[in-house]
A and B are shown apart, each in its own frame.
Chain A
Amino acid sequence: MMKINKSVIINSIQKGIRLDGRKLEEFRDIEIIPNYINKNPEGCALVKIGKTKVLVGVKMGVGKPYQDSPDEGVLMTGAELSPIAAPEFESGPPREAAIELARVVDRGIRESKMINTKALCIKEREAVWLVFLDIQILDYDGNLFDAAALGAVVALMNTKIPTYDLKTEKIDFEKYSGKLELNEVPISITARKISGKIVFDPNAEEEELVDSRLTFAFKENGNICAMQKGGSEPITKDEILDLMKKSSDQSKIIRKKLKNIKIDK
């Protein structure tokens, strides 16, 4: 980014109004399209936050459970920052940024106990459902953490489970046996600091100027089930408490939005 551009963005943030006219804590428009594609994936969502577009799909598979949880299904989350979304993204296996994104989204879902993993047991110790949650960034304009987490949650909310025949060990993807059982809906919000100011939902240009970020995953009762700090600048204890309060308020707005859309086909 050109230096002049940087200082213009920072000056406007200092004044409390961003270049696109938003207040510092204001999100861009959020659009949620459940079941964006609906033949092959078991669950799917397209989420747009401003110009950022994230497509999340769920595929179900069958495999062996982990030894320490023989009667529980398994969640596996992946994320791709492929070159379709921005010229600076490179092809190849996921690197640090994509791995962190996938793991932060995964942690919010896992630690909130969103998925009833026991309901995914087919036969103890032998066969359980595997939930493959894959996040594809289609268009990058900042705030991937919140867009990806929201897409993941919506995709899981409309996920259906195919039928499985233990004898033939075959999955019938044409016939659904039920919906993915959920206990909870976590909402992730990421607060950022740019030049000492708290900013939410940065676009790509603002994202480059972020000094530190802090992601919170909130449960329905307001408790926090996952956090992750990023960026190379420290955050103080008092700032964390402030970011928590503001992020918690944001999560309520998004939760309300989610309640008002039709998730199922």
Chain B
Amino acid sequence: MAKGLDIKLIKNGKRLDGRDMEEMRPLKMELGVLDRADGSAAIELGETKVIAAVYGPTKLHPQHRQQPKKAVLSVRYQMLPFSTTDRCRPGPNRRSIEIGLVIKKALEPIIFLEEFPRADIQIEIEVIQANASTRVTGLTAASLALADAGIPMKGLISACAVGKIQDKLILDVAGAEDSYGGADFPIAMINGGDEITLLQLDGDLNQKEMKPALDLAQKGCKILFDQQKNVLKNTYKVGDQK
């Protein structure tokens, strides 16, 4: 709402939290954090903390929603009431429904949905604590949770947000950069590569900034993708029977 206000977000060449322009916040990933779910993952990106769970593939109810040749993916994204500065009302709202939709569309290209006709794959994303970049972190976690559930996939989705403060592009928007920065540009890529499966923009970007912004997003997605691979390798060591 207050986007573009003249508030100093760069001091002595650093961002308010001390980061360089192209530096991500500290990142932690963990698999199998929940017992009941078929797959789960938690990600901490600075103070933003998200848990994603996967249930399925199971038989889809009601039957009329079944697809004869592929599984149906359903995604629910929710922020816990105490995850934000001002309490947010529990339950779906227009924002969370739209985010659930774009996350679903971002995951569909990597899942072999055709392996599970008439099935339901349900993804639940809970934002435990929000300090910006919740949809991209939720999406990255969901992709890990799918891998943890053993769902066959063509790759992993990694997602981060590029922003703009004082006309400089920055990686991994956080804190005041979200409220007062000049742009919020969430992007998801397959395996940190060229293929983009989620892209939204709020803010003000001139056309010359588009390529550097996409390149910076790719840099972030590569960092996330490397860490996703590492956590998968470390969790499932050869011979390990989970």
User: In whole angstroms, what is the CA distance A226 to B184 when docked?
Assistant: 9
**B194 in the interface, Cβ–Cβ < 8 Å?**
yes
- Chain A positions 197 through 223: 1 when the CB is less than 8 Å from some CB of chain B, otherwise 0: 000000000000000001000010111
Let me know if B204 and A111 touch, CB within 8 A: yes
Q: Please, which residue of chain B has its CB at the minimum distance from the CB of A117?
A: B1
Give how many A residues have a beta carbon under 8 Å from the other chain's beta carbons: 39
- Given A102-B94, A111-B3, A237 and B203 contact (CB-CB distance below 8 Å): no
- Residues in A219-265 with C-beta less than 8 Å from chain B: 219, 221-238, 240-241, 244-245, 248
Query: Is B143 in the interface zone, CB < 8 Å from A?
Result: no
Whether A89 sits at the interface, judged by CB under 8 Å, is no
Tell me which residues across on chain B come within 8 A of A222, comparing CB atoms. 206-207
Chain A residues touching B, majority SS: mixed
Task: Render B80-107 as a binary contact track against A, CB cut-off 8 A, 1 for contact.
Answer: 0000001000000011011011100100
Q: How large is the interface on B (under 10, 10 to 19, 20 to 34, 35 or more residues)?
A: 35 or more
Assess whether A224 is in contact with B211, with CB atoms less than 8 Å apart: no
For A111, the chain B residues whose CB sits under 8 A away are 3, 201-204
Rounded to whole angstroms, the CA-CA distance of A226 and B197 in the bound complex is 17
Bound Cα distance A254, B181 (Å): 30
The answer on a CB contact under 8 Å between B105 and A228 is no
A225 touching B203 in the complex, CB below 8 Å, given contacts A68-B1, A237-B218: yes
Given A99-B98, A230-B105, A241-B211, check contact A235 B204 (CB 8 Å).
no
B200 at the A interface (CB under 8 A): yes
Instruction: Please measure, in the bound complex, the distance between the C-alpha atom of A103 and the C-alpha atom of B93, giving whole angstroms.
Output: 12
**A-B contacts at CB below 8 angstroms, number:** 105
If the complex has contacts A234-B195, A236-B195, A248-B207, are A228 and B94 also in contact, measured as CB distance less than 8 A?
A: no
Contact B94 A69 (CB under 8 A): no
Q: Which residues of B contact A99 (CB under 8 A)?
A: 94, 97-98, 101
A230 to B197, CA, bound (A): 9
28 examples of A-B residue contacts, CB within 8 angstroms: A66-B1, A68-B2, A96-B98, A96-B100, A99-B98, A100-B98, A100-B101, A103-B94, A107-B202, A111-B3, A219-B204, A223-B207, A224-B206, A225-B201, A225-B202, A225-B204, A227-B200, A228-B201, A229-B197, A229-B198, A233-B109, A234-B190, A234-B195, A236-B194, A237-B196, A241-B211, A244-B207, A245-B207
Residues in chain A within 8 A of chain B (CB atoms): 66-69, 72, 96, 99-100, 102-103, 107, 110-111, 113, 214, 219, 221-238, 240-241, 244-245, 248
For the complex of A and B, 3 pairs with smallest distance between CB atoms: A227-B201, A234-B195, A229-B199
Q: Which residues of B does A touch, CB under 8 Å?
A: 1-4, 86, 94-95, 97-98, 100-102, 105, 108-109, 185, 190, 194-207, 210-211, 214-215, 218
